[in-house]
Amino acid sequence: MKDYYYILGIEKHATDEQIKSAYKKLAVKFHPDKNNGDKFFEERFKDIQEAYETLSDPIRKRNHDATLKNNTSYGNTNTGKAYEEELKRKERTHQEELRRQQREHEDELRQKEEELKRKYQTPQQRAAEEAAMKKQQEEQRKQQENNRKIAELERLNYRLKKANTELVELNTNVVTKTDEIKQIEQDIKNVGYKGKWKFTKNKKEEFSLENIYILILIAIGLFSVVAFIFSIIK
Protein backbone atom coordinates (compact mmCIF):
# COMPACT_ATOMS: atom_id res chain seq x y z
CA MET A 1 0.00 0.00 0.00
CA LYS A 2 1.24 3.50 -0.84
CA ASP A 3 1.90 5.93 1.97
CA TYR A 4 0.85 9.27 0.49
CA TYR A 5 2.36 11.19 3.38
CA TYR A 6 5.72 9.65 2.63
CA ILE A 7 5.37 10.29 -1.11
CA LEU A 8 4.84 14.02 -0.43
CA GLY A 9 7.56 14.02 2.23
CA ILE A 10 5.35 15.30 5.03
CA GLU A 11 4.29 14.19 8.49
CA LYS A 12 0.94 12.46 9.11
CA HIS A 13 -0.25 15.46 11.12
CA ALA A 14 0.59 17.96 8.33
CA THR A 15 -1.83 20.82 7.74
CA ASP A 16 -3.64 21.50 4.47
CA GLU A 17 -1.19 24.31 3.69
CA GLN A 18 1.81 22.03 4.23
CA ILE A 19 0.25 19.36 2.00
CA LYS A 20 -0.39 21.91 -0.75
CA SER A 21 3.11 23.41 -0.47
CA ALA A 22 4.80 20.01 -0.66
CA TYR A 23 2.69 19.06 -3.68
CA LYS A 24 3.60 22.24 -5.58
CA LYS A 25 7.34 21.79 -5.02
CA LEU A 26 7.35 18.14 -6.08
CA ALA A 27 5.01 18.74 -9.03
CA VAL A 28 7.37 21.36 -10.45
CA LYS A 29 10.40 19.14 -9.94
CA PHE A 30 8.94 15.94 -11.42
CA HIS A 31 6.59 17.31 -14.08
CA PRO A 32 7.11 15.30 -17.31
CA ASP A 33 7.09 18.46 -19.46
CA LYS A 34 10.20 19.67 -17.65
CA ASN A 35 11.92 16.30 -17.98
CA ASN A 36 11.46 15.61 -21.70
CA GLY A 37 8.44 13.36 -21.03
CA ASP A 38 10.66 10.77 -19.37
CA LYS A 39 8.73 7.71 -18.14
CA PHE A 40 10.41 7.72 -14.73
CA PHE A 41 9.35 11.28 -13.99
CA GLU A 42 5.91 10.61 -15.44
CA GLU A 43 5.31 7.73 -12.97
CA ARG A 44 6.64 9.76 -10.08
CA PHE A 45 4.42 12.71 -11.02
CA LYS A 46 1.37 10.43 -11.08
CA ASP A 47 2.16 9.23 -7.54
CA ILE A 48 2.54 12.83 -6.35
CA GLN A 49 -0.71 13.91 -7.97
CA GLU A 50 -2.56 10.90 -6.57
CA ALA A 51 -1.19 11.61 -3.09
CA TYR A 52 -2.28 15.25 -3.22
CA GLU A 53 -5.75 14.45 -4.52
CA THR A 54 -6.25 11.94 -1.70
CA LEU A 55 -4.87 14.04 1.16
CA SER A 56 -6.59 17.26 0.05
CA ASP A 57 -10.01 15.57 0.14
CA PRO A 58 -11.21 15.18 3.78
CA ILE A 59 -13.18 11.98 3.14
CA ARG A 60 -10.49 10.26 1.06
CA LYS A 61 -7.87 11.41 3.56
CA ARG A 62 -9.86 9.92 6.47
CA ASN A 63 -10.24 6.61 4.59
CA HIS A 64 -6.53 6.61 3.76
CA ASP A 65 -5.59 7.23 7.40
CA ALA A 66 -7.87 4.43 8.55
CA THR A 67 -6.41 2.04 6.00
CA LEU A 68 -2.89 2.98 7.05
CA LYS A 69 -3.76 2.45 10.69
CA ASN A 70 -5.18 -1.00 10.04
CA ASN A 71 -2.29 -1.93 7.79
CA THR A 72 0.49 -3.95 9.42
CA SER A 73 3.08 -1.52 8.11
CA TYR A 74 1.48 1.44 9.85
CA GLY A 75 3.78 3.08 12.35
CA ASN A 76 6.98 1.98 10.66
CA THR A 77 8.85 3.12 7.56
CA ASN A 78 9.22 -0.21 5.75
CA THR A 79 6.75 0.76 3.02
CA GLY A 80 8.30 4.20 2.66
CA LYS A 81 11.82 2.81 2.52
CA ALA A 82 10.87 0.25 -0.11
CA TYR A 83 9.24 2.98 -2.18
CA GLU A 84 12.28 5.24 -1.81
CA GLU A 85 14.71 2.47 -2.76
CA GLU A 86 12.62 1.69 -5.83
CA LEU A 87 12.71 5.35 -6.84
CA LYS A 88 16.48 5.51 -6.36
CA ARG A 89 16.96 2.34 -8.37
CA LYS A 90 14.82 3.68 -11.20
CA GLU A 91 16.65 7.00 -11.15
CA ARG A 92 20.07 5.31 -11.29
CA THR A 93 18.92 3.16 -14.20
CA HIS A 94 17.52 6.22 -15.90
CA GLN A 95 20.76 8.23 -15.49
CA GLU A 96 22.87 5.33 -16.74
CA GLU A 97 20.65 4.99 -19.80
CA LEU A 98 20.94 8.72 -20.49
CA ARG A 99 24.74 8.56 -20.25
CA ARG A 100 24.82 5.53 -22.56
CA GLN A 101 22.66 7.28 -25.13
CA GLN A 102 24.82 10.39 -24.88
CA ARG A 103 28.00 8.38 -25.52
CA GLU A 104 26.41 6.59 -28.46
CA HIS A 105 25.24 9.90 -29.90
CA GLU A 106 28.70 11.46 -29.56
CA ASP A 107 30.36 8.42 -31.13
CA GLU A 108 27.91 8.52 -34.01
CA LEU A 109 28.57 12.22 -34.58
CA ARG A 110 32.33 11.69 -34.61
CA GLN A 111 31.98 8.79 -37.02
CA LYS A 112 29.83 10.83 -39.39
CA GLU A 113 32.24 13.72 -39.17
CA GLU A 114 35.15 11.46 -40.11
CA GLU A 115 33.16 9.99 -43.00
CA LEU A 116 32.36 13.44 -44.33
CA LYS A 117 35.98 14.48 -44.08
CA ARG A 118 37.18 11.41 -45.93
CA LYS A 119 34.53 11.90 -48.57
CA TYR A 120 35.08 15.58 -49.36
CA GLN A 121 38.69 16.20 -48.40
CA THR A 122 41.36 16.33 -51.06
CA PRO A 123 44.70 14.57 -50.51
CA GLN A 124 46.27 17.96 -49.86
CA GLN A 125 43.69 18.78 -47.20
CA ARG A 126 44.15 15.42 -45.52
CA ALA A 127 47.90 15.90 -45.53
CA ALA A 128 47.50 19.39 -44.09
CA GLU A 129 45.16 18.10 -41.40
CA GLU A 130 47.55 15.29 -40.47
CA ALA A 131 50.42 17.77 -40.30
CA ALA A 132 48.37 20.09 -38.08
CA MET A 133 47.46 17.16 -35.84
CA LYS A 134 51.11 16.09 -35.54
CA LYS A 135 52.09 19.67 -34.77
CA GLN A 136 49.44 19.87 -32.06
CA GLN A 137 50.59 16.57 -30.56
CA GLU A 138 54.20 17.77 -30.62
CA GLU A 139 53.23 21.03 -28.88
CA GLN A 140 51.33 19.08 -26.24
CA ARG A 141 54.36 16.83 -25.72
CA LYS A 142 56.64 19.87 -25.37
CA GLN A 143 54.22 21.48 -22.95
CA GLN A 144 54.14 18.33 -20.83
CA GLU A 145 57.94 18.19 -20.89
CA ASN A 146 58.17 21.84 -19.87
CA ASN A 147 55.72 21.25 -17.03
CA ARG A 148 57.79 18.28 -15.90
CA LYS A 149 61.00 20.36 -15.96
CA ILE A 150 59.34 23.19 -14.06
CA ALA A 151 58.13 20.77 -11.40
CA GLU A 152 61.63 19.24 -11.17
CA LEU A 153 63.18 22.70 -10.88
CA GLU A 154 60.81 23.65 -8.09
CA ARG A 155 61.67 20.42 -6.29
CA LEU A 156 65.41 21.11 -6.62
CA ASN A 157 64.96 24.70 -5.41
CA TYR A 158 63.12 23.40 -2.38
CA ARG A 159 65.93 20.93 -1.65
CA LEU A 160 68.51 23.71 -2.10
CA LYS A 161 66.71 26.00 0.35
CA LYS A 162 66.45 23.16 2.83
CA ALA A 163 70.17 22.36 2.45
CA ASN A 164 71.08 26.04 2.94
CA THR A 165 69.00 26.15 6.10
CA GLU A 166 70.71 23.02 7.42
CA LEU A 167 74.13 24.50 6.53
CA VAL A 168 73.38 27.66 8.49
CA GLU A 169 72.35 25.54 11.47
CA LEU A 170 75.56 23.48 11.19
CA ASN A 171 77.70 26.64 11.02
CA THR A 172 75.95 27.95 14.10
CA ASN A 173 76.62 24.67 15.92
CA VAL A 174 80.29 24.71 14.83
CA VAL A 175 80.72 28.23 16.16
CA THR A 176 79.06 27.22 19.42
CA LYS A 177 81.28 24.15 19.82
CA THR A 178 84.38 26.21 18.95
CA ASP A 179 83.49 28.68 21.68
CA GLU A 180 83.03 25.77 24.09
CA ILE A 181 86.49 24.40 23.18
CA LYS A 182 88.07 27.80 23.71
CA GLN A 183 86.33 28.11 27.05
CA ILE A 184 87.61 24.65 28.09
CA GLU A 185 91.15 25.58 27.01
CA GLN A 186 90.90 28.78 29.01
CA ASP A 187 89.65 26.85 32.04
CA ILE A 188 92.61 24.48 31.74
CA LYS A 189 95.05 27.41 31.65
CA ASN A 190 93.35 29.02 34.60
CA VAL A 191 93.61 25.79 36.58
CA GLY A 192 97.31 25.52 35.74
CA TYR A 193 97.96 29.11 36.68
CA LYS A 194 96.29 28.75 40.05
CA GLY A 195 98.51 25.83 40.93
CA LYS A 196 95.72 23.34 41.36
CA TRP A 197 97.84 20.68 39.66
CA LYS A 198 100.19 19.17 42.17
CA PHE A 199 103.29 17.15 41.17
CA THR A 200 105.57 15.05 43.41
CA LYS A 201 109.29 14.76 42.97
CA ASN A 202 108.69 11.54 41.02
CA LYS A 203 106.45 13.62 38.67
CA LYS A 204 103.34 11.65 39.65
CA GLU A 205 100.06 13.56 39.84
CA GLU A 206 98.36 13.88 43.13
CA PHE A 207 94.69 14.34 42.40
CA SER A 208 92.39 16.08 44.76
CA LEU A 209 88.61 15.71 44.41
CA GLU A 210 88.52 19.07 42.67
CA ASN A 211 91.18 17.93 40.14
CA ILE A 212 89.14 14.79 39.32
CA TYR A 213 85.96 16.83 38.85
CA ILE A 214 87.71 19.20 36.44
CA LEU A 215 89.13 16.28 34.42
CA ILE A 216 85.67 14.74 34.12
CA LEU A 217 84.23 18.01 32.82
CA ILE A 218 87.04 18.31 30.29
CA ALA A 219 86.53 14.72 29.10
CA ILE A 220 82.79 15.24 28.68
CA GLY A 221 83.39 18.42 26.70
CA LEU A 222 85.95 16.80 24.41
CA PHE A 223 83.69 13.78 23.86
CA SER A 224 80.75 15.97 22.85
CA VAL A 225 82.98 17.88 20.41
CA VAL A 226 84.29 14.68 18.83
CA ALA A 227 80.78 13.23 18.57
CA PHE A 228 79.53 16.40 16.91
CA ILE A 229 82.40 16.37 14.38
CA PHE A 230 81.67 12.74 13.49
CA SER A 231 77.97 13.56 13.03
CA ILE A 232 78.92 16.32 10.56
CA ILE A 233 81.23 14.01 8.63
CA LYS A 234 78.51 11.37 8.27
pLDDT digits (tens, 9 = 90+) for 60-116: 988 888 887 776 444 444 455 666 677 778 778 878 887 888 888 888 888 888 887
Predicted pLDDT at 202:
43
132 occurs within a structural domain: no
Same domain? 104 vs 191: no
Domain boundary (117, 149, 183) is at: 117
Same domain? 113 vs 8: yes
CATH number at residue 56: 1.10.287.110
Predicted pLDDT at 232:
63
Predicted pLDDT at 125:
76
Over 80: is that where the pLDDT of 26 sits? yes
**Which of 7-16, 50-59, 66-75, 204-213 shows the lowest mean pLDDT across its residues?**
204-213
Over 80: is that where the pLDDT of 231 sits? no
72 occurs within a structural domain: yes
pLDDT (average), residues 37-57: 86
Stronger pLDDT, 230 or 126, i.e. the higher one: 126
102 occurs within a structural domain: yes
94 occurs within a structural domain: yes
Predicted pLDDT at 204:
43
Structural domain range at position 35: 4-117
Query: pLDDT-based confidence at 233, cuts 50/70/90?
Result: low
pTM of the model: 0.37
131 occurs within a structural domain: no
Predicted pLDDT at 212:
67
Predicted pLDDT at 199:
43
pLDDT digits (tens, 9 = 90+) for 145-167: 999 999 888 888 888 888 888 88
Domain boundary (77, 97, 117) is at: 117
Per-residue HEC secondary structure of the chain comes to CCCHHHHHCCCCCCCHHHHHHHHHHHHHHHCHHHHCCCHHHHHHHHHHHHHHHHHCCHHHHHHHHHHHHHCCCCCCCHHHHHHHHHHHHHHHHHHHHHHHHHHHHHHHHHHHHHHHHHHHCCHHHHHHHHHHHHHHHHHHHHHHHHHHHHHHHHHHHHHHHHHHHHHHHHHHHHHHHHHHHHHHHHHHHHHHHCCCCEECCCCCEECCHHHHHHHHHHHHHHHHHHHHHHHHHC
Predicted pLDDT at 150:
92
Predicted pLDDT at 91:
76
Same domain? 107 vs 175: no
Same domain? 9 vs 101: yes
151 occurs within a structural domain: no
